[in-house]
Structure 1
């Protein structure tokens, strides 16, 4: 029972590019948004956890891999809240108390969106071909 994707999936250029674009947006947000709990290190930590686990968690639910559900729940919690709480507990507990309840819904939404983006296992060309075949199969 392997929960994570094969290493080759994490090294696909289109996935790495989308991760880099997302990290750039997170870093820009941490610089230009006056939130006490948004800094560059937590942006990188949460992005890395999300990149590794979001598509796997979503895949476990969509494919009804019930034996993987506890791992999917734990990975989701850790990526969305656990690493955040751990980081801010040591860096600034006041910011954690102040912002934790606001961070969770936003982070969970991003987790699901990212999981959806990175869910497909294959090249970008294969993904577009798959989408094209779905579009044409609905017309018939």
Structure 2
């Protein structure tokens, strides 16, 4: 739970939500509005790093839940929302939404995967790069 409260993660979530809201006005797609942007962004924030970690660390018992969380965030909540709001938009846009949302979900998982502060990340990165330089002939 501590990871969800990190300022850098909350800030990147805010930036992502702002971009999604701006995109909903700029692109005028029939299936892109503010509520679904908020729903999908918040679900991704809470599930993407966990799902990616389950896959990367081969936590076999968590794979079904991780795959469900991924599907629900990328497609399930989208289908439920648009089924009730505008079924025509759902029918027209669902196939196009899935790959775009899955890619964004993966990107979010990578961005939010790190457990620690930005200063911790920077320290680890510098140490890792220094170790690489030392090993080169």
- 1:3 aligned residue: none
Structure label with greater radius of gyration: 2
Matched, 1:13 2:7: yes
- TM-score w.r.t. the length of structure 1 is 0.94
Equivalenced residues, count: 134
Q: Give me the whole-angstrom Cα distance separating, in 2, the residues matched to 1:130 and 1:121.
A: 12
Gaps of 5+ in 2: none
* Secondary structure at the counterpart of residue 121 of structure 2: helix
1:30-109 equivalence runs, <5 A: 30-109=24-103
SS state of the match for residue 9, structure 1? Answer: helix
- Alignment correspondent of 1:29: 23
In structure 1, the gaps of 5 or more residues are 1-6
Deviations 1:75-114 (CA, angstroms, capped at 9, x unpaired): 0000100000000000000000000000000000000000
For 1:132 and 1:66, how far apart are their aligned partners in 2? Answer: 33
Q: Structure 1 stretches (4+) deviating beyond 6 angstroms?
A: none
Query: Deviation at 1:130?
Result: 1.3
SS class of match (1:129): helix
Residue deviations 1:57-89, cap 9 Å, x none?
Answer: 000011110110001000000010000000000
- In 1, Cα distance between the equivalents of 2:130 and 2:31? 46
